[in-house]
Structure 1
Amino acid sequence: MKIGIYSDIHDNIKNLEKTLNYFLENNIENTFFCGDFCSPIPAKTIGNSGVITYCVFGNGDGDRFTIQNLAFNQFDNLKLNAEYAVIELEDKKIAMTHYPFYANALAKTGEYNLVLCGHTHEVKIELLNKTTLINPGEIMGWNGNPTFVIYDLDNCSTEIIKVNDL
């Protein structure tokens, strides 16, 4: 099974819609968002897409009340957690946070197959012992061509997708 990993939307709805369309067109049924919606607008866009998205908050998320309301009362596909989450999917244990410092520490424990983070707006894929640590870059586009990552849970392979190339 392939999953989608993305982070740091910062209200760039155009790039978010390209990303979500890629997931839909490629039958990526489970996605992971590593924080920084910024406003509730991206949360509503994700909710309306129908794409199952496990989410954590980042440091740039304002109006958390409205984002929580969307996740808990309007969109079943928006699986919102606080700043940290552990999700089990196909016998894989996945930890997710916005912050690389915490993600690095989680990965070093060896308790997870996959650890996800964001915040830096830069792609980083690293193997720490038997744990894959992934920062998918950013959807925002502040650092150039926005990116997200496709990860194959079966063979532990990664693919970096550049949004502007879609």
Structure 2
Amino acid sequence: MKIGIYSDIHDHISNLEKTLQYFKNHNIEHTFFCGDFCSPIPAKVIGNSGILTYCVFGNGDADRFTIQHLAFNKYNNLKLNSEYAVIELNSKKIAMTHYPFYANALAKSGDYDLVLCGHTHESNIELINQTWLINPGEVMGWKGDASFAVYDFKTNAVNLVKINDLP
């Protein structure tokens, strides 16, 4: 089983669509979004994809009321949390927040197998003791290469995927 991890869409719909298409093409059925939809439009696109997506809010999410309405009333595949979430999946304990400062502390605690974050718009993947700390970079592409990450439960490996390299 593999999961997709992405962050910081900032309304860049074409890169979001490439990301979601990659997940579909590679049979990735569970994804984790680490915040900064910006507007409700990316939430609609993710909702319409049908891909199960665990989400947290980031600092750039302006219309939280509408995003919450979409997640709770229209799209069952959007599993929206506040700024922090803990999800157990495939015998792994996964913590997710938008902010690397908190993610780093969570990873160092040793309480989780994976800790996911975003916010910096730069990818960072490191193993802290037995915990993967994963910042997949940004879907937006503001600081350079737009990217997302894929974690493989079978191999316990993380792969960074550059969106600009996708068809």
Match for 1:40: what amino acid?
P
Residue 112 of structure 1 is matched in structure 2 by 112
Aligned to 1:136: 136
Letter in 1 for 2:15: N
1:126 equivalent in structure 2? 126
* Deviation sequence 1:31-60 (CA, Å, 0-9, x none): 000000000000000000001100000000
* Alignment correspondent of 1:157: 157
Q: Count the aligned residue pairs.
A: 166
CA deviation after TM superposition for structure 1 residue 155, in Å? 1.6
Q: Distance in 2 between matches of 1:145 and 1:129?
A: 28
Deviation of 1:18 after TM superposition, in Å, equals 0.3
Q: Which residue identity lines up with residue 144 of structure 1 in the other structure?
A: G
Q: Per the alignment, in what secondary structure is the counterpart of residue 134 of structure 1?
A: strand
Identity %: 74
Residue of structure 2 equivalent to 1:50: 50
Please name the residue that 2:101 is paired with. Answer: 101
Shift in Å, 1:145: 1.9
2:88 & 2:8 partners in 1: Cα distance? 23
Separation (CA, whole Å) in 1 of partners of 2:128 and 2:159:
18
Where do 5+ consecutive residues of structure 2 fail to align? none
Equivalent-residue separation in structure 2 for 1:158 and 1:50 (angstroms) = 24
Q: CA RMSD in A?
A: 0.5
Q: Which residue of 2 aligns with 1:70?
A: 70
TM (norm. structure 2) is: 0.98
CA distance, structure 1, for counterparts of residue 110 and residue 33 of structure 2:
22
Three-state SS of the structure 1 residue aligned to 2:42 is helix
SS of aligned partner of 2:124: strand
Q: How far apart, CA to CA, are the structure 2 residues paired with 1:89 and 1:36?
A: 23
C-alpha distance in 2 between matches for 1:4 and 1:150? 5
Q: Distance in 2 between matches of 1:127 and 1:162?
A: 21
- TM-score of the pair, normalised by structure 1: 0.99
CA distance in structure 2 between the partners assigned to 1:139 and 1:96 by the alignment = 17
Residue 129 of structure 1, CA deviation: 1.1
Distance in 1 (CA, whole Å) between partners of 2:132 and 2:144 is 25
Gaps of 5+ in 1: none
More displaced stretch, 155-164 vs 9-18: 155-164
The one-letter amino acid paired with 2:104 is N
